[in-house]
Structure 1
Amino acid sequence: MIRHLVLFKLDEGVTKDDERALAGAKAFEELGSLIPELREWECAWNITDRDIAYDYAINSLVEDRAALQAYIAHPAHQAAAGQWREFATWVIADIEV
């Protein structure tokens, strides 16, 4: 199993109430039911307000590397991630569990 973690940082001047951020969050919320390779899917806005905190997080689980690649290449994932490129940066970690 592979745990796929993503942390998003909104660009300077962008807030989570920005229309783009709201649409991006909605797009990610829908992925859990659209991509069959996802065993688990959680995503949400960060609730803490610290200088080092990121703004939004994804926590997901897939079976193996092939499933991870299928998720990454899935058109719904590509479309959702494409939205976030306009207003945020992110870091990822894929760990075997």
Structure 2
Amino acid sequence: MHVVAFTLKPGVSREDPRAQAAATITSGHPAAIPEIATWYCGWDITHRPDSADFLLVSTFDTAADCETFQSHPEHQRGKEAWRQIATWMVADILPCGGEHS
């Protein structure tokens, strides 16, 4: 499982065309990267002061698939789009009780 929480940089809003473009690129990853097993992403709907702005949760069938995703050109394009407008925290986990492939 690959989890990323994006926080927009000061002065960047969700309506900013760059933020919308980054979200669109990220939303399109499953169509471009066949190694993705499941993909959920979207803007936070709570607007709490301590929440991230945009989150994605994805899964991969194997660790090799996750590694392939990491270097995929479309993923790199998405990372660059977010790098310009946000900071993020990432975690790659095995769900409790899961086994590493």
TM-score (norm 2): 0.91
**Unmatched tracts of structure 2, length 5 or more:** 96-101
Matches within 5 A, 1:5-84: 5-84=3-82
- Structure having greater relative contact order (Cα 8 Å, sep ≥ 6): 1
Query: CA–CA distance in 2 between the matches of 1:31 and 1:18?
Result: 21
The residue identity in structure 1 corresponding to 2:40 is: E
Q: Deviations over 1:21-73 (max 9, x none)?
A: 00000001110111111000111000011111000001100012211110010
**Unmatched tracts of structure 1, length 5 or more:** none
Q: Would you say how many aligned residue pairs link Structure 1 and Structure 2? A: 95
Taking every aligned residue pair, what percent have the same amino acid on both sides? 37
Aligned twin of 2:85:
87
Larger-gyration structure (1/2): 2
TM-score (norm 1): 0.95
The residue identity in structure 2 corresponding to 1:51 is: P
The residue identity in structure 1 corresponding to 2:4 is: V
